[in-house]
Amino acid sequence: MKVAVIGAGAAGLFCAGRLASEDIGVEIFERNEKPGKKIYITGKGRCNLTNDCSVNDYLSHVVTNPKFMYSAAYSFTPSDTVTYFSEELGLKLKTERGGRVFPVSDKASDVTKVLVRKAESEGASIRYGSRVTAVKTEKGRVCGVFEGEKFFPADAVVVATGGFTYPSTGSTGDGYGFASAAGLKVIPPKAALVGLAAKNVAGLQGVSLKNVSLSLYVNGKARASAFGEMLFTHTGISGPVTLECSSRTAAYRDGSGAFPTGSYASVDLKPALNADELDARLRREFAQTPLAEIKTVMRRLAPAALAAPVLAEAGISPTVKACDIRKESRVALAAAIKDLRFPLVGAEGREQAIITSGGVDVAELDPKTMESRKVKGLYFVGEVIDVDALTGGFNLQTAFATADCAARAIKAESALIANFG
């Protein structure tokens, strides 16, 4: 049996390594001159390859189509990933805060190396600088792939081309074209896990906030909320909570990444305090230095750069003395601290996005095998599918779990052919 795998990224290499054998010849087509280009930049170059968590916890971090991943998640769990890499591939791993699993070496290149070594040791071959231009199908079954004018016959084709983010790594959306040509529906791709452009951030670039709550309001309702760290950039906001909220609101942005008019980000600078507790805190701060200007007092409540926007939101002059702040102004100040707003423009471009939201419609695929329901022998794995998750190793776990499903299905098909012809 011959199998063509399109893409030597995480999902493609993993699938090939699980699939190749004496009975199954695997050829990997990689458009770049080296494998795993996107692996090299994951986890800031360290490769957070999975999360050491339960299956239910993994599924809770899948933003788009978690139900589709149910079967795959239980068939190849995060624990299975850890065992496979550490015991079968011989890669030493460590678990850090939040269950994030990394190679002990802190080198993403080591992850790529063991995946390539496994695939090649099992007999798979990799064609570098080879861009598949079309997948050939006849009478509802895959026949092979074209590299320009050159045809390569195959009994099964695994599309592992990734999404359309970080196009410099080769992820330019080729897989969507293969799916569409085969008659499969593709959900328009959008940037996810990405920074957001916002207004009124002048002078805040580089300001980092910890233990804050961020909520994104779209069409008058809170569509996403997260607690943790965020960062102001020269164009808007970023950081862990922003990335999470960006993924949870991808569906509300248009094709250009823009939010509907009136959308805004709300930052709660003191999420641990309710209104009464915050009022008591303000009164204590004012009593401590009654003759100090309010802008000076604010430095004990928030980063200095945020004093001006918070006071402006509350309608308070920065030079007013603390002792002159009356209850009405104090209530307004507390409200601004709990709900500091920044109008949203849209998401940063796909060049900066970590993951793609959108892709091959999961309704087109068998969730147990990742095979197309319309074309026999055509499989889609990894980011090319309309499944995306939060940061923490969950997206690579999706890549490995879907790739394992396809590999097992193809091996089962090969066994049937061998036994019954």
Are 224 and 186 within one domain? no
The whole-number pLDDT of residue 171 equals 86
Q: Under a CB-based contact definition with an 8 Å cutoff, are residues 142 and 39 in contact?
A: no
Please report, for the domain that includes residue 80, its CATH number: 3.50.50.60
How far from 77 is each of 43, 72, 241, 360, CA to CA, in Å?
20, 8, 26, 23
Please give the chain's pLDDT, 421 residues, in tens. 999 999 999 999 999 999 998 889 999 999 999 999 999 989 889 999 999 999 999 999 999 999 999 999 999 999 999 999 999 999 999 999 999 999 999 999 999 999 999 999 999 999 999 999 999 999 999 999 999 999 999 999 999 999 999 888 888 899 999 999 999 999 999 999 999 999 999 999 999 999 999 999 999 999 999 999 999 999 999 999 999 999 999 999 998 999 999 999 999 999 999 999 999 999 999 999 999 999 999 999 999 999 999 999 999 999 999 999 999 999 999 999 999 999 999 999 888 899 999 999 999 999 999 999 999 999 999 999 999 999 999 999 999 999 999 999 999 999 887 777 5
CA angle 375, 11, 192 (to 5 degrees): 95
The whole-number pLDDT of residue 421 equals 58
3-state helix, strand, coil in the chain (%, to 5): 40, 25, 35
The whole-number pLDDT of residue 124 equals 97
Are 210 and 170 within one domain? no
* Residue that is last in its domain, among 314, 348, 382: 348
* Residue that is last in its domain, among 316, 348, 380: 348
Are 158 and 205 within one domain? no
Are 37 and 186 within one domain? yes
Are 254 and 323 within one domain? yes
Are 78 and 107 within one domain? yes
Q: What is the largest CA-CA distance in the chain?
A: 91
Are 379 and 267 within one domain? no
Are 83 and 200 within one domain? no
Domain tally, the chain: 2
Are 188 and 275 within one domain? no
* Residue that is last in its domain, among 348, 368, 394: 348
The whole-number pLDDT of residue 412 equals 94
Are 93 and 235 within one domain? no
Are 220 and 147 within one domain? no
Question: For 365, phi and psi rounded to 5 degrees?
Answer: -120, 150
**Which domain does 35 fall in, by range?**
2-192+354-420
Quote the CA–CA distance of 342 and 215 in Å, as a whole number.
11
Q: Pick the closest to residue 245 from 271, 266, 269 (CA basis).
A: 266
Q: What does the DSSP 8-state code read for residue 44?
A: G
Are 94 and 168 within one domain? yes
